[in-house]
Amino acid sequence: MVPTEYYVLLSALLFTIGAVGVLIRRSAILVFLSIELMLNAANLALVAFSRQWSAAGAQTALSGQGAVFIILAIAAAEVAVGLGILVALFRNRASTDVDLLAEVRY
């Protein structure tokens, strides 16, 4: 039986790698991949907590997995819209370098 702490540590490690990836990658699509990494790190923690909580009864135990299911669906919607924005962006600029998108803030 693997302790929950190990799963949470792995989740923290993956989340950190994803966060660093968001900061160091310059191609928008790879920034996006890193965000996906962070989402799935959070999912891993949720599933681990779901197992930890299972002693409190099936309702509480499985609600963590239900939450993960919904997060996965939301991530799919996010990917569709995000990649759509990327394609539209690429058509306008022939580049997805996030350093060149400074004027988006105006």
Partner 1 sequence: MLGFFILAVLVTVGALGVILLREPVHAALALVGIMVLFLFVIMLLNVKETPAPTRFPWLRPTAYVVGLGLAATVILTALMEPQQLPSLQVIGAALNGGAPAEIGEIIFTDYVLAFQLVGILLLTGIIGAVSLVQRIPVPASGADA
Cα 1 to Cα 56: distance, rounded to the nearest angstrom = 18
Q: How many residues bind partner 1 (CB under 8 A)?
A: 71
Contact between 81 and partner 1 by CB under 8 A: the answer reads yes
CB of 16: closest distance to partner 1 in angstroms?
Answer: 4
d(CA 27, CA 25): 6
Binding pattern for the stretch 51-80 against partner 1, x by CB under 8 A and - elsewhere: xx-xxxxxx-xxx-xxx-xx--xxxxxxxx
DSSP state of 103: G
d(CA 22, CA 13): 14
Residues in the chain: 106
Nearest-CA neighbor of 48 among 6, 103, 16, 83?
6
Q: Confirm or reject binding of residue 93 to partner 1 (CB under 8 A).
A: no
Please say which residue, 102 or 105, places its beta carbon nearer to partner 1: 102
Q: Of the candidates 46, 49, 84, 105, which one interacts with partner 1 according to CB under 8 A? A: 84
23 near partner 1, judged by CB under 8 A: yes
